[in-house]
Amino acid sequence: MRLRCVIVDDDDDFLVVARAVLEGEDITVAGVAGNGVEAVERARDLRPDVMLIDIRLKAESGFDVARELAADGLKPALIMISTHPYADFADMIADSPAVGFLPKASLSAAAVRQLLKIG
């Protein structure tokens, strides 16, 4: 099954690299967003299976974005991403609606699928 993904990140360079990595490994990047408003719009319009959300966006917290997506009744699986280590955010990740965390340096389709517990 080819997953449909939206990436929420305010770093344009990372978006280019992440799209290339995921699409090269059988995940369709249906769209990108740079902030919470765009993330909710993309989730509503594109109905992705999964959303990768940067923990630190310029003007807002990725955790707030994840909570907004979950509260809005949107159903994509949410995965938090960051350049910072998991330990820096472990409690916040556990308290969030996210299914897990991926370091940006470890981003791959296999890592996404592993967190989603699908082959």
Q: What is the pLDDT of residues 18-36, one digit of tens each?
A: 999 999 988 999 999 999 9
For residues 40-64, give the mean pLDDT. 95
Buried b vs exposed e over 14-46: b needs ≥16 C-beta within 10 Å? bbeebbeebeeeebebbbbbbbbebbbebbeeb
Collect all residues with Cβ–Cβ distance below 8 Å to 118 and sequence separation of at least 6: 1, 3
Q: How many domains does the chain have?
A: 1
Specify the DSSP class assigned to residue 73: T
The pTM (predicted TM-score) of the whole model is: 0.95
Query: Which residues span the domain enclosing 76?
Result: 3-116
CATH number of residue 69's parent domain: 3.40.50.2300
